Structure 1
Amino acid sequence: MPVSLPSLSRALVAALLLVTPAQATQTHSADAPMLETAMASVFTVHSADAEDRFLGSAFLWGDGAVAVSNAHVVGQAGEVRLTDAAGHQQIGQIIASDASRDVAVIAVKPGQGGLVPAATPPQLGAEVWALGAPLDIEFTVTAGRISALDRQTDPATPIRMIQHDAALNPGSSGGPLIDSTGALVGMNAQIADGSRMFVGIAYAIPATDLSRIVQGLIDETLQPIPKLGLTARPVSRQLAETLNIAATGLLVDAVTPASLAERAGLHPGDVILAVNAAPLTTPGDLAFALESSQSQNRFDLTILRAGSVLILMADLAAADSPLTLRDLASPQRRTEYTLQDLGLTLTDTEITAITPNSPALAAGLTATEILLQIDGQPAASHLSQSFTRPILLLIQGTTGTRHVLIDPWATTKTLHPVGGANVLDRDVVVF
């Protein structure tokens, strides 16, 4: 017999009234000890200098001899300040970092053990918790479920991420993703969409990949991901129809001079069909094929050029691969700068343009604002001056005046959107 909506609603209300508060919170309270134990392995990460800039999250790994975080969290720092949930602080040395795979290893003081990878692979729909410091809100836990497995968010990186819907925001990067037993499922690394804030889709590097990457960085056996030096796009149905070819492979847009791709003989307009005779069914297949070819130091590319199928050989041994481990030599630091070096284009004291990815943009300056003062002095008389330390600007904007402190030596370490922290444009991939 069909049940009417009013009858069904009354039945649901009656059922809900029978649930006591204790029953409603039983599951959540049972998780508290597990979460507290896991949180004891989590750190907030700050710069190890007087500025004490918040960078992100990290956590103890395995036996607790090292901590791990994202490479984009620690950036180019040689050391960071780690703070645990009990308030204990220490300076951690960055002993290895892999920017391509976005993993960094940090040496810590001996002490308690860390998080251990789960014994079984994660399952679709499983409940997970993300631990970290989103938006610098220390030691936060958010809950969610695994919404997809094996997401390759960057076609140039041979890692298939875990997709989940536990809320992540800037600052969550480097924090652990754990399961209902407190075991490590992965390390939170990315949010989807072009915005900085959580939109319901987050990504974590799987614990199985972390185990391989972290141990390889510690042992100095992990090889860098080969850089081909080309940009390419998937051969879509529309492209295939235009070129009168099959809708498969990668169409080469550009080849960098003196790169591995150029030495192998690739040209713009070539279509890469296969690597070592394995067809490229998705753009990301190329990255996995390159990684698996590293032990042989060479690979074969099957390409389509002007209607003919050719095979090219690429020699990885001759590639100029970047170092995996940190170069401990101190780089030369620029000692002075001008307003133009900050990314400002000025007409008298009015800001008429801001250079993308510049210190001025990172500080929040916008076009049409007016410079009133520089370090407390009238701006008009200091526009061509060179500066050797951070400067304080008094700005006239549409909503009034405000002071802006710009430290050009700190802007690469501040919290800002990272290109690799969001899903890349699927049309063009840089290999």
Structure 2
Amino acid sequence: MISSLSVAGLGLGVTEPAFAQSVRTLPDFTDLVEQVGPSVVNIRTLEKASVRETQNSPQDEEMQEFFRRFFGVPMPSPNSPRQQRPNKPQQPDEEQPRGVGSGFILSSDGFIMTNAHVVDGADQVVVTLPDKREYKARIVGADKRSDVAVVKIEASGLPSVKVGDVSRLKVGEWVMAIGSPFGLENTVTAGIVSAKQRDTGDYLPFIQTDVAINPGNSGGPLINMRGEVVGINSQIYSRSGGFMGISFAIPIDEAIRVSEQLRATGRVQRGRLGIQIDQVSKEVAESLGLSKAQGALVRGVEQGSPAEKAGLEAGDIILRFDGKAIEKSSDLPRIVGNTKPGTRSMLQILRRGTTRDMAVTVGEVEAEKPTKKAAAPAEKPSSSSLAAKVLGLSVSDLSDAQKKELKLRGGVRVDAVAELAARAGIQEGDVILALSNAETPTVQVFEGLVAKLDRSKPVSLLIRRGDWAQYTVIRPQR
């Protein structure tokens, strides 16, 4: 102790701890606000409402929550005090305030980007610039699937934003938002990027942040420390309608692709294959010999679709599309959706343990078709067969009429399921097409395959149910 004090007293060779040298100062956002603030606008929407519509149309609870969370303007309830006042009747076709959102200027000639849900259903859109000038805006186009919209005001010489590179965005990086939460214009909030590639929709991998986003922020920009827009603030996770520390932004590169199509044609064209897909689970990957859970499992192929014409079948696993790896099933709709309809693309698939390539001509997205309801499980199977003992299944051969109706060459029909098969999701009426990558055209073949199973490992079954097919995994009874 004395030695240490003496050294300290003499001031010899004492340095700061290493961690003290690495302390960084907090960012200063003032320059960014001055740089980007003039390009952020407030968006108000109006709609026409008649007395009968206002008084008699019941307000859906989900719509109430939607408006409360994102616009900051609650939808009036039929039982609200405002509508019970007989001395202030509303006039027919009177324009009523509908909501408040945000947006940002894309180009100096008046093109503005915002969320599709901000302008959806509006009869009139009013844009207010930071200098308080107001303009009536024209909706150029809105795409609900990506929640991106473009509106146009008749003005020139406007300050536009700089578009950033989302691929350079890092988790933990500081970002800032400007918008109109609760109608409070030009409000600035800041935080960090919490995660990238969040799956909350079919076509968009969202940016997750902890930037405070509240009703009215929708459509406003997410800005990096270089003053570039990297996203559009679009959604929040909330149980109360207010900010809870989790916000989502649309990546600006995806939004720009959509906006270019909206400006060119007023709509967005997306590619489609005409298949229903599912995630490849770890157990399915193991049973099929994949080194890891990857790709998109084809559960069903729509009749007359580009996929059927290309020869794609239920049970195939799509590993690559035009050379791009499909790491998870949600990657496929995005990649295909961004492909121009009519494009001839190459698929790499895994079919019954064998990898192969096939060409497909991409179609255009159309309305989804409803899937058929699955049948309920029936009574327990008899224990006379080996399949009943090992897998909990009682099966029978398909009749010629059933094969013709289902358009199948073969398969065995599930007549009854025991607890083991029921836990795997198999139901009476299902048709088993393959067991452990081997086709099961008849009961005799099926029973033979069951006899050869390694009962210490999970077993994959390819099942047809209605118009769709899927893989399931059973751990055999030893």
Match for residue 271 of structure 1?
317
Alignment of 1:4-403 (within 5 A): 31=30, 34-35=33-34, 38=37, 41-49=40-48, 50-77=95-122, 79-118=124-163, 121-149=168-196, 151-154=197-200, 156-157=202-203, 159-180=204-225, 182-192=227-237, 197-220=242-265, 224-241=269-286, 246=291, 247-290=293-336, 293-294=339-340, 297-316=343-362, 318-319=363-364
Listed one character per residue, the Cα deviations across residues 364-408 of structure 1 (whole Å, up to 9, x for unaligned) are xxxxxxxxxxxxxxxxxxxxxxxxxxxxxxxxxxxxxxxxxxxxx
The structural deviation recorded for 1:34 is 2.7
Listed one character per residue, the Cα deviations across residues 227-247 of structure 1 (whole Å, up to 9, x for unaligned) are 333332221212334556553
Write the distance in 1 (CA, Å) between the matches of 2:199 and 2:238. 11
Q: Secondary structure at the match of 2:97?
A: coil
Match for residue 72 of structure 2?
none
TM-score (norm 1): 0.57
Structure with more relative contact order (C-alpha pairs < 8 Å, separation 6 or more): 1
Cα distance change on mapping 1:44 and 1:116 into 2, 3 Å: same
Of 46-55 and 36-45, the range deviating more from structure 2: 36-45
Aligned residues: 295
Write the distance in 2 (CA, Å) between the matches of 1:32 and 1:128. 13
Could you tell me whether the CA contact under 8 Å between 2:114 and 2:148 is conserved in 1?
A: yes
Write the distance in 1 (CA, Å) between the matches of 2:102 and 2:36. 17
Could you tell me whether the CA contact under 8 Å between 2:272 and 2:336 is conserved in 1?
A: no
Letter in 2 for 1:294: K
Cα distance change on mapping 1:248 and 1:33 into 2, 3 Å: closer
**CA RMSD for the aligned pairs?**
3.7
The structural deviation recorded for 1:179 is 3.5
Write the distance in 2 (CA, Å) between the matches of 1:68 and 1:32. 23
Q: Secondary structure at the match of 1:52?
A: strand
Q: Secondary structure at the match of 2:346?
A: strand
Could you tell me whether the CA contact under 8 Å between 1:232 and 1:254 is conserved in 2?
A: yes
Write the distance in 2 (CA, Å) between the matches of 1:76 and 1:267. 40
Could you tell me whether the CA contact under 8 Å between 2:272 and 2:341 is conserved in 1?
A: no
Cα distance change on mapping 1:268 and 1:169 into 2, 3 Å: farther
Listed one character per residue, the Cα deviations across residues 251-299 of structure 1 (whole Å, up to 9, x for unaligned) are 2234444444444443433322222354422334324542565387122
Could you tell me whether the CA contact under 8 Å between 1:69 and 1:174 is conserved in 2?
A: yes
The structural deviation recorded for 1:77 is 4.2
Could you tell me which runs of 5 or more consecutive residues in structure 2 were left unpaired when the two chains were aligned. 2-25, 49-94, 368-478
Could you tell me which runs of 5 or more consecutive residues in structure 1 were left unpaired when the two chains were aligned. 2-25, 323-431
Write the distance in 1 (CA, Å) between the matches of 2:342 and 2:303. 24
Could you tell me whether the CA contact under 8 Å between 1:224 and 1:321 is conserved in 2?
A: no
Letter in 1 for 2:248: Y
Cα distance change on mapping 1:260 and 1:208 into 2, 3 Å: same
Letter in 2 for 1:184: V
The structural deviation recorded for 1:191 is 2.7
The structural deviation recorded for 1:104 is 0.9
TM-score (norm 2): 0.52
Match for residue 341 of structure 1?
none
Cα distance change on mapping 1:289 and 1:210 into 2, 3 Å: closer
Identity of aligned residues (%): 31
Q: Secondary structure at the match of 1:238?
A: helix
Cα distance change on mapping 1:41 and 1:277 into 2, 3 Å: closer
Q: Which 4+ residue blocks in structure 1 deviate beyond 6 angstroms?
A: none
Q: Secondary structure at the match of 1:314?
A: strand
Cα distance change on mapping 1:115 and 1:312 into 2, 3 Å: same
Cα distance change on mapping 1:179 and 1:212 into 2, 3 Å: same
Q: Secondary structure at the match of 1:286?
A: helix
Larger Rg: 2
Cα distance change on mapping 1:57 and 1:260 into 2, 3 Å: farther
Q: Secondary structure at the match of 2:199?
A: coil
Write the distance in 1 (CA, Å) between the matches of 2:159 and 2:308. 45
Cα distance change on mapping 1:105 and 1:189 into 2, 3 Å: same
